[in-house]
Structure 1
Amino acid sequence: KQVTIVLTFLYFIQYINHSAFDMGHYFQRAMLANGVVCALRLHQRVPQFRLTRVHFSMLLQEDSAHYLIYSLIFLTCHPITIALMPVAVFALLHASSFTRQMIDMHGSNSYPFARKLINHVAKHQATLFRFVALNEVLILPTVVAMLIMGRASVFAPFLYYKFVHYRYLSTRNPYSRVIFYELRMSAEVLSRNPNCPSILSSSLLKGITFVSKLAPPYQQQQPEQQQ
């Protein structure tokens, strides 16, 4: 995860310097590093691999599998800056957790400055998860736009839709469902605003209906299943 953070940082340096070649280089490496980490975490979560439908269904319930698919999608795409945001944020959260474990081995009062930074990240963890979920939603229209401009594979929008599908059904991370709900509520409030033009109001309602039809059915698990 530390490697992913460094590669993302180098990508933004090249972005500021308008170096397109190096941008693509660091973008692909960041996605590759994230994919490797996700594959390792997925192996830890589901160590015994079997070529069965039940096993693949079990794999696709894991968040690590979702972001392994995510990395594979963008490895073959033109660099999309917004696509690095979820990868970088998750890398930051995991790196902070790992660093805390390391410094705890040196005593509870060791490295106070590092602890202050880690505590600051932990304090805003929910906000970061919401930020990631919002990015996951906004990337879909971005991928469609990239396809129109010829900078993404024709399969990218369909594969990314499946990624969003799995994120929406995630049993460990509810933020995707929360963001979709909040965006829908905001769109409905705006469409009912008397100052909203009728064409925009109609478009919003049609968009809500269309997205709602694409949303997969979600059943809340019982407490004993979640543990």
Structure 2
Amino acid sequence: MVTPMAPFDYTQQFVDGVVASLSEDRLTPYLLQSKGDRVKAIKLYERNIAVSEGFYSIIHILEIALRNTVHRTLSKQIAEEWFDQVGLSAFSAKNVAKARENIRKRGKDLTASRIVAELGFGFWADIFRVNGLWMNHLHHAFPGRQRKDIHVPVDAVRKFRNRISHQESILARNLSDDYARIMWLIAEISPETAQWADRQSRLQAWHLETDLPSST
């Protein structure tokens, strides 16, 4: 049986230490939201961490599902190493080269699956910018959708993911819309995976605008 943790005592010494460690600049959005109350600001910071962790898990699922459906579609339409045979942007081509370099450094064989797994979310968002690739091949991954239908929300998730990765505050956002956008994209790839992601998500039970978890 797990023993419940005792309530944390936000003493002046504790608050001073945390503020000094995190810095006033980093805490500014939370201090503004709490009207200068440093204890409330720290608790909002804790809340931001918890919500960011919750979003990271479903973005993780989206990223893997997205790259797999793109790779599966383009492998079938073109070749397993499609990334060497299509007109990628300079950004995406640089990412492929970097992926190869990282795999070589680890002493692993350069396989298509390893290269695909090494490519980050930015690559998968960028690939939907290429209209010719969508028109000729990639639309098969999303029947009935226009390129912008997928590119716009994927790019929005990319920007949101970057905010989380850089430990920025996300509490002022419309988090319900962020959640719905991510789940819609997963469902476009696999309704079953979307149901599973929603069911296991820590965010699923929260009313994201009014009932976020905190230490209070």
Report the TM-score, using the length of structure 2 for normalisation: 0.29
Report the TM-score, using the length of structure 1 for normalisation: 0.28
Between Structure 1 and Structure 2, whose CA radius of gyration is higher? Answer: 2
